[in-house]
């Protein structure tokens, strides 16, 4: 991992290791029977336009606070044992990691539901903005798919 202490909510410039993040979450409890992950990566095509580069900006402290609220609500509402959320900011190349959510629980059902809800809520409410560089110039992405 890139940090010496494991924080379950992070916004960072550097890439992350999916394997390291899963291994860290597995250490949370011996009752974990299901782990669900969502990994978002930079894609080359969006709305019919070729993308050459992505850049993410955020509202510092507010974005981290929102991610922590999402994590806490997912644990409470879906009964998962724990969840971690990592989102990168800054320039992202096509194919690179952008966001990772890891939900761990006793069973798979609650982890799938919590993970799906968390990414939808993140995209809907967290002050993190994406700018795509296309052949037509730079475009701020407003809507969430």
pLDDT for residue 46: 85
pLDDT for residue 4: 37
pLDDT per position as a tens digit, 96-113: 999 999 999 999 999 999
pLDDT per position as a tens digit, 72-96: 999 999 999 999 999 999 999 999 9
pLDDT for residue 3: 37
pLDDT per position as a tens digit, 30-76: 999 999 999 999 999 988 889 999 999 999 999 999 999 999 999 99
pLDDT over threshold 60, residue 5: no
Domains within the chain, CATH numbers bracketed: 9-141 (3.90.1170.40)
Long-range contacts of 19-28 (CB under 8 A, 24+ apart): 21/84, 21/86, 21/100, 21/102, 22/102, 24/84, 25/82, 25/84, 25/102, 25/104, 26/104, 28/81, 28/82, 28/104
pLDDT for residue 70: 98
pLDDT for residue 1: 33
pLDDT for residue 144: 52
pLDDT for residue 49: 85
């Amino acid at each position: 991992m890139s940090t010496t202490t494991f924080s379950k909510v992070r916004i960072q410039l550097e890439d992350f290791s999916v394997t390291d993040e899963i291994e860290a979450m597995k250490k949370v409890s011996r009752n974990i029977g299901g782990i669900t992950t969502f990994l978002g990566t930079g894609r080359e095509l969006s709305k019919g336009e070729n993308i050459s580069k992505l850049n993410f900006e955020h509202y510092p402290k507010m974005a981290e606070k929102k991610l922590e609220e999402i994590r806490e609500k997912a644990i409470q509402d879906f009964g998962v044992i724990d969840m971690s959320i990592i989102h990168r900011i800054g320039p992202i190349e096509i194919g690179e990691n952008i966001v990772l959510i890891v939900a761990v629980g006793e069973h798979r059902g609650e982890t799938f539901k919590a993970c799906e809800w968390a990414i939808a809520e993140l995209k809907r409410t967290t002050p993190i903005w994406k700018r795509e560089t296309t052949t037509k110039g730079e475009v701020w992405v407003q809507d969430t798919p």
